[in-house]
Structure 1
């Protein structure tokens, strides 16, 4: 005889439904889904729970604050916040940028130049601009200043309007803003417009760069000197007194080799440093992604180091900034 399994006594369907549905005592519980039910007035406001910013439950973020993301970790935990790959924030997907540790302030050093007091060699790396390579539109130049162990020292950004860049091209006046790891502008470089229609040996046609550190306080000038076969510059202090000179090669457009600009004393008897434009291949040249190595003595005055850095940018714009040819000139 098969075993009889005891079952619960049968109850009407209405009574079972009443037992299944339990009263919801939550203060803001939504009403049961029913098309015939009209929701009443909102209940009393409930203060947000403590421990959650903005009163939002864990796992949500406010639409008014799109940059606020949930912290999926217990309160007080020391574990790093991890996000699902492909989700916010997008900055976590970029390669980390390593900055040079901030040096201690120096009394006789302009603020921000303490980094140069610890260096005898820096690298100037220009960003690759695909828009310039594919079109004839000139964009603002950007540079990274790094040390020998690939740590970022400064970021240099050109601040020139679109009309000036595309109308004057390589002869354009420009403003370069040098910022540190905190985004503070520690140096400004300005190149005024110089007319090149007159005689090339006229002083009014020679290029010049003014260096300010901090912005608004001039520490020196880089002035071009006329020479028949090579680039020659003088590095001057704030009183326009010549301190050093830069002597370039006879040909600065060499293909397949480095271009060396020697930083010398005024009489040319001793070499102080050098500005070397590295040859990194045709693709780098076509895309205006120049690479410079700057060498100077470790004990050289930081202001003179900053002036040598300014001379590097003036040389880049005058000899290695190959602007794309405008479309209207290609039809001639």
Structure 2
């Protein structure tokens, strides 16, 4: 853990550490929910028009949560050889219970050539191995002038679109059928210099149309794990009463942020942040 972050409210939620044989330490279940710093108590605006998701145990847990933790799994082959392998993630609820698993589906050549701008499909499953939803990224690729788009699907229906225009540092989230737009803003330190050397806790604030803040996606300080792996840990916090479909779309946004800023350790930034 960087000495610059010992005063951070997320210090006690530090990411997994590397042990012998590349074993990964995952968060342990708790009897009490974790304490989320700077939590938003309730939604400042009323959200209407969205598509309700069909009931599932994982979705019910997320509906009752005010935060999620996303842990990217360590990839021993990638760590030893440098060959880019598909990303895998484990999602925990506010009691640190493992409720969702996500894995990337992509082409080897895309991972090798396009790296953090590669197109992919990301599939998400619950503990019963039932698919909850999938996301598709397109528009990235080797051409840095094209917009970046992530579309999320649930049971064959498109439920949301996350987009970022060329040279922009803001991700815009549009929920299917909902007139309200969300904006996720990247911090300065993720934009300037290679993000891989930014050993700090990095918050990506989430704003609703009109400027009210409704949560954050926080990339936790990876500590010395940064030097051997590009696996990261994220905290997402939001109001408990936020519609579960928007919570799930913010989860998908976390994956795109991970790819955009922290997947390619040689990535350069593209500017500074302007207030939304």
Q: TM above 0.5, one fold?
A: yes
Structure 1: distance between partners of 2:140 and 2:53: 32
Aligned residue in 1 for 2:198: 255
Pick one of 49, 54, 69 that aligns with 1:110.
54
Does residue 318 (structure 1) correspond to residue 260 (structure 2)? The answer is yes
Aligned residue in 2 for 1:213: 154
Aligned residue in 1 for 2:236: 294
Does residue 264 (structure 1) correspond to residue 210 (structure 2)? The answer is no
Q: Is the 8 A contact 1:235 1:242 kept in 2?
A: no
Computing the radius of gyration from Cα coordinates, the structure with the larger value is: 1
Residue 247 of structure 2: SS of its match in structure 1? Answer: helix
Structure 2: distance between partners of 1:195 and 1:97: 34
Q: Is the 8 A contact 1:224 1:232 kept in 2?
A: yes
Aligned residue in 2 for 1:157: 103
Residue 162 of structure 2: SS of its match in structure 1? Answer: strand
**Structure 2 CA distance for partners of 1:222 and 1:162, relative to 1, 3 Å:** same
Pick one of 67, 70, 84 that aligns with 1:138.
84
Structure 2: distance between partners of 1:208 and 1:242: 18
Query: Aligned Cα RMSD in Å?
Result: 2.8
Aligned residue in 1 for 2:250: 308
Aligned residue in 1 for 2:73: 127
Structure 2: distance between partners of 1:292 and 1:97: 12
Structure 1: distance between partners of 2:29 and 2:178: 34
Aligned residue in 1 for 2:162: 222
Give the TM-score normalised by the residue count of structure 1: 0.59
Moved over 4 A (4+): 95-100, 239-242
State the Cα distance separating 1:242 from its structure 2 match.
5.2
Q: Is the 8 A contact 1:138 1:323 kept in 2?
A: no
Residue 267 of structure 1: SS of its match in structure 2? Answer: coil
**Structure 2 CA distance for partners of 1:265 and 1:108, relative to 1, 3 Å:** closer
Give the TM-score normalised by the residue count of structure 2: 0.70
Structure 2: distance between partners of 1:227 and 1:117: 34
Structure 1: distance between partners of 2:157 and 2:108: 27
State the Cα distance separating 1:108 from its structure 2 match.
4.0
State the Cα distance separating 1:115 from its structure 2 match.
2.5
Residue 106 of structure 2: SS of its match in structure 1? Answer: coil
Structure 2: distance between partners of 1:135 and 1:195: 23
Higher relative contact order (CA 8 A, sep 6+): 2
Structure 2: distance between partners of 1:283 and 1:323: 13
Task: Give the number of the structure whose residues are more often strand, by fraction.
Answer: 2
